[in-house]
Amino acid sequence: MFFSARPGKSRRKGAASSIRVESLEVRSLLTTYGLPWADPRSLSISFPGEGTPIGGTGNNIRQTLDTVAARGAWQKAALKAFQTWAEVANINVGLVGDRSDAFGAAGLASNDPRFGEFRIGSFSQTNVLANSVPWQPVAGTWSGDILLNSDVQWYLGHSQSQQPPGGSGYELRTVILHEAGNALGLSDVQQSGQVMSANYTNPRWTLQSADITAIQAIYGARVDIFETSVNDSRATATPIIFSAAESAAGRA
């Protein structure tokens, strides 16, 4: 969960002086961080269609973000956010289609053929930039879902240093990077300067050492499968497969 301002310093005109979180019904359950996904090498993202039910409301992510950037651009930013974690941890995250079943529909929390583990949607919320649900057995298919606040003024930076147009707004990739950490099992921290800091301050696309240590504590460091094997003998040599044309050329 990403707060738009520090408690007692709300940036919303007329808002209460302290942070109050308006949450989905599912979040009345105890949220447990630190649990790894059961199949972390086969995770996926999907984007449900407009109007997909989210509790008593509907998903409006396209209406929210299509005015911020081209659809392909903001979806690519979400993928890059997840790949930032995958570069340092032993996880794989790909893109799959979404059948637009309701958020939280009965089904498999992982490897459900209808949608990805990480479904990204949007609806109106209060005093938070976004909400996300880490993997937990009681959450069902809510696990992994990231729900942006459609009332927020978003922008998509061309670089990490780009500030919001007009001086106000929140950088989309930065927020999804933080929420992806939550969805992967990381809790918010109170220290500033980290991707997992609870309060948004500035755009941040780069993991800090504490972020990397935290994600590797759950999933381990990224493993190259070829580094764990040897090919220095006849029995273990890596096979080289030639095409039919290459084989014919070699025999000529």
pLDDT digit string (tens) for 45-97?
Answer: 999 999 999 999 999 999 999 999 999 999 999 999 999 999 999 999 999 99
**Does 211 score more than 50 pLDDT?**
yes
49 domain-assigned: yes
Total domains in the chain come to: 1
238 domain-assigned: no
The CATH number of residue 91's host domain is 3.40.390.10
Q: Which domain holds residue 213?
A: 2-226
240 domain-assigned: no
SS3 for 130?
strand
And the tokens for 186? 């990381």
Q: For the chain, give me the number of helices (H) and strands (E)?
A: 5, 10
185 domain-assigned: yes
171 domain-assigned: yes
Mean pLDDT in the chain? 85
247 domain-assigned: no
- List C-alpha distances in Å: 46 to 4, 52, 118, 169: 25, 13, 6, 25
- List C-alpha distances in Å: 24 to 33, 90, 98, 102: 17, 30, 21, 14
Q: Parallel, antiparallel, or unpaired: how do β-strands 93-95 and 43-46 relate? A: parallel
**Contact (Cβ atoms closer than 8 angstroms) between residue 131 and residue 27:** yes
Exposed (0-12), middle (13-18) or buried (19+): which is 189, by Cβ within 10 Å?
Answer: middle
Summarize the confidence of residues 87-108 as an average pLDDT.
97
Q: DSSP state, 91?
A: -
